[in-house]
Structure 1
Amino acid sequence: MTTPPNTIVFDLDGTLVDSLPDIIASFQHGLASMGLPVPTDAEVRPLIGHPLEEMYAHFAPEHVTALCAVYREHYARNFVNRSRPYPGVVELLRTLRERGYKLAIATTKRTDMARRFIEALGLTPAVDYVQGTDGFPHKPAPDVIHRALAALSAKGLWMVGDTTADILAGRAAGLRTYGVTWGNHDARMLATATPDELQPDLARLLAHLPPRPRA
């Protein structure tokens, strides 16, 4: 008997958690600590969601390795200074679990850091699996989604994210896509990736996901 799709895949930063201030602060710290010009928040923000190496290459390509090391050391000590789940996220995840869905996180963060992060925020019990991007192609490639679903032996229904890379990755993985505009990319940017849903928050996701029949 074929298993029907039963899993919702979420991006993490900018989708479930308002973590951009801590990410930006650590990114800027790396440059400042090496005496390099420090970009503004507005200059850093469009790059969030890309691998850290690519972000630093945009500003200081000759110092990428050292900058990444400084960032990771600083971020590991400061990653929940201001980061918090967006309003309604904890309740949404609880409701989806109660309705019989599996929940996975697929993030550009490395897996070890992503798991530490959601543990610190108290979200570990709310999801079934956390998959980071560890040495394989990052979004918009669908690899991180495929790996999360394979770990759960599950089929995906929706990919939920806040960037065009999330939407493109979800489509490449064969999922429906939900763009939320409270994160990194605004509505106009997200619309260029033509998500199936484009919303200011996650509330409408529940309308697409009624309770699943119990076995």
Structure 2
Amino acid sequence: MSVSPKAFILDVDGVLRDSAPPALEGMSRGFAACGLDARFSVRDYRTIRAVGKYNNSRNCIALMLALYREGRKPGQFLQGDPEKRFDALVSGIIRPEDRDTIERIRKVYKDFSYSPEAGDYVRILPKVPEALRLLKRAGFALAIWTNSGRATVERDLGPLLARFAHLLAGEDTQVKKPDPRGIFLVCKKLHLPPAEAAYVGDAAVDIQAAKAAGAASIALTSEVPDPRLLRRERPDLVFPDLYRMAKHFCAGR
């Protein structure tokens, strides 16, 4: 497929910033607050969030609780259809009475995520400023659609936000990926049809949202432990990171 977008709509986590360390820290604190010594690596966390509905924090925590109880790791479920295998584990282990525990963990996670301390764990991914500069100089419109909260995006991206024509954050819409309506809203702001835009992300839901919107789907793999998790979704293009994507589209412009 020939992909020639006029605009790039970017996810934030795994595209512009690495927020896996603070997210995992927040969830670990939530488990500890419930008296649970659940230990997961950043790799474990990234694997979970790359898979379908488990990009959602509540679903992620439910899966982590099930894995903890079974003494297993997410990497053991990657053969075949990982999402269905995760679903089977959660449905077999998590009980209705676990809802309060999951919500308590999630509250600790959310409170930590919005704290100044969490910002100390975040890093801007390598060569992101250079990539944005290349894309702007080449005349591409840039925007953000993320499920993350606006406050954390503003805290972590700071002056980089000046490169973007529009930011659609989690609280700005009632829809979450893979629902494509966020892409429709951003394209309306950019005065472009979705067919002239590309959505760039690092999770299955990002690719699914782009396809549902009729936009080009671009997957970045540098923060995904197993790129097969994204290739299964058949994105239009795959790049290791934003800089190499920018070099590809800016060549000859």
Q: CA deviation at 1:92?
A: 0.9
Any conservation in 2 of the 1:24–1:45 contact (CA below 8 Å)? no
Distance in 1 (CA, whole Å) between partners of 2:139 and 2:248 is 14
Any conservation in 2 of the 1:159–1:176 contact (CA below 8 Å)? yes
TM-score with structure 2 length normalisation? 0.72
Give 2:248's aligned residue: 207
Aligned residues: 207
2:181 maps to a residue whose letter is: D
Give 1:9's aligned residue: 9
Q: CA deviation at 1:115?
A: 3.1
Distance in 2 (CA, whole Å) between partners of 1:116 and 1:151 is 23
| Post-superposition CA distance 1:176-211 (Å, at most 9, x none) | 111111123532111101111112223134423568
The answer to whether structure 1 residue 197 and structure 2 residue 197 are counterparts is: no
Distance in 2 (CA, whole Å) between partners of 1:6 and 1:98 is 13
1:142 maps to a residue whose letter is: P
CA RMSD of aligned residues (A): 2.4
The answer to whether structure 1 residue 154 and structure 2 residue 154 are counterparts is: no
Gaps in structure 2 of 5+ consecutive residues: 66-97
Q: CA deviation at 1:125?
A: 1.4
Distance in 1 (CA, whole Å) between partners of 2:236 and 2:225 is 16
Any conservation in 2 of the 1:6–1:155 contact (CA below 8 Å)? no
Q: Which structure has the larger Rg?
A: 2
2:49 maps to a residue whose letter is: I
Q: CA 1:150/1:100 → structure 2, altered by over 3 Å: closer, same or farther? A: same
Distance in 1 (CA, whole Å) between partners of 2:139 and 2:252 is 6
Any conservation in 2 of the 1:48–1:184 contact (CA below 8 Å)? no
Give 1:128's aligned residue: 165
Gaps in structure 1 of 5+ consecutive residues: none
TM-score with structure 1 length normalisation? 0.83
The answer to whether structure 1 residue 183 and structure 2 residue 231 are counterparts is: no
Any conservation in 1 of the 2:46–2:223 contact (CA below 8 Å)? no
Q: Greater helix share, 1 or 2?
A: 2
Q: CA deviation at 1:169?
A: 0.8
Any conservation in 2 of the 1:7–1:158 contact (CA below 8 Å)? yes
Q: CA 1:205/1:185 → structure 2, altered by over 3 Å: closer, same or farther? A: farther
Q: CA deviation at 1:20?
A: 1.2
Q: CA deviation at 1:18?
A: 1.8
The answer to whether structure 1 residue 165 and structure 2 residue 205 are counterparts is: yes
